[in-house]
């Protein structure tokens, strides 16, 4: 469990580094959880939530940065607001 918590902390740190870029465009990102198979679930907020480019932002921006910084992470997925 400690290793998992360490991964969560690393993921949150990378997301915090990305957030200012999203916020500059009126969007934001929220960490939701890390699955048992090392997939990060996030929620795109603000302008990012309904932007037609959000999938590209997610895969080419957020996921690329997280996976590059933390190779153990398999993917980053966006989940819908509840």
Q: How does pLDDT run across 9-21, given as a tens digit for each residue?
A: 999 999 999 999 9
Q: Residue 62 belongs to what domain range?
A: 2-78
Q: Backbone phi, then psi, for 42, in 5-degree steps?
A: -130, 170
Domain count, the chain: 1
Instruction: Report the CATH number that the domain containing residue 29 is assigned in CATH.
Output: 3.30.300.130
- Work out the burial of residue 75: count CB atoms within 10 Å of its CB; fewer than 13 is exposed, 13-18 middle, 19 or more buried: middle
pLDDT at 3: 63
Once rounded to an integer, what is the mean pLDDT over residues 32-55? 89
- In this model, does residue 29 exceed pLDDT 70? yes
What pairs with residue 69 in β-bridges?
none
Kindly report the pTM of this predicted structure. Answer: 0.87
């Amino acid at each position: 469990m400690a290793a998992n918590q360490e991964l969560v902390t690393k993921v949150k740190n990378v997301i915090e580094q990305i957030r200012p870029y999203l916020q500059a465009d009126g969007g934001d990102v929220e960490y939701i959880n890390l699955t048992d198979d090392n997939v990060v679930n996030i929620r795109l907020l603000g302008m990012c939530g309904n932007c037609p480019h959000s999938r590209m932002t997610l895969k080419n921006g957020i996921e690329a940065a997280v996976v590059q910084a933390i190779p153990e992470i398999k993917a980053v997925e966006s989940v819908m607001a509840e």
